[in-house]
Amino acid sequence: MSSSPHDTSRPSRRFLVALLALVTAAFAGGGALIAGMPSAQATPAAPVAAAEAPASAPDGPALVLQLEQRVKANPDDLDSWQMLGRAYTVMGRQDDAVSAYRNIVRLKPGDAMAHAELGRSLGNANGRKLNAEAEKHLDQALALDPGNVMAHALLGRVALDRGQPAVAKKHFEDALEHLDTSHPFAQQLRQAIQIADSAASSPSK
């Protein structure tokens, strides 16, 4: 039964929950975006994953190895690529994360979050600095979804670094507008808006 095409092409629910618990726990404990900004998509899932995760879940490296075997056997296994991308990010394997998110974009070229995640990963792999390719994917994310929180937050940080506080503030405000006010990241966005205001009011040198 375990050798059927269905079983080998898709992870089991137990397998998915186990890896999700591993990944989201790491995201909840530390920042995932450049400049220490936590992932707006990953944090809310942590309580659910923790509640559903099996008591004897396999360890992280073993789960990642299973996922790698799955995508080697089936390069179009979107679910496994998505989990690999998150796992590699948490593990600090930034080049591998970029490769995973490139495959996700290949499989879902019209998905805004796929482009945003690839942009973030490219920045992480580039010493936590967004390069031209990363910005291109973040811009594409906003073209597909003007309310993409991650893309706005990252592009806002870039604008601040470039001395464009008004542009940065607009990105942070747009991100905040599309985020639940009770989300932990909302407070960080409010602080970012205040920083942009302060930068705008400071005399230029």
Q: Would you say 71 and 81 are in contact if contact means Cβ atoms under 8 Å apart?
A: yes
Domain coordinates of the chain in residue numbers? 5-201
Residue-wise pLDDT for 79-133, tens only, equals 999 999 999 999 999 999 999 999 999 999 999 999 999 999 999 999 988 999 9
Residue-level pLDDT at 140: 98
For the domain 5-201, what is the CATH superfamily, name and number? Tetratricopeptide repeat domain (1.25.40.10)
**pLDDT computed for residue 169 by the predictor:** 96
Report the C-alpha gap between 143 and 22 in whole angstroms: 32
**Can you tell me the mean pLDDT for 52-58?**
43
Distances (CA, A) of 30 to 24, 39, 196: 10, 9, 24
The two structure tokens encoding residue 123: 């920045």
pTM over 0.75: no
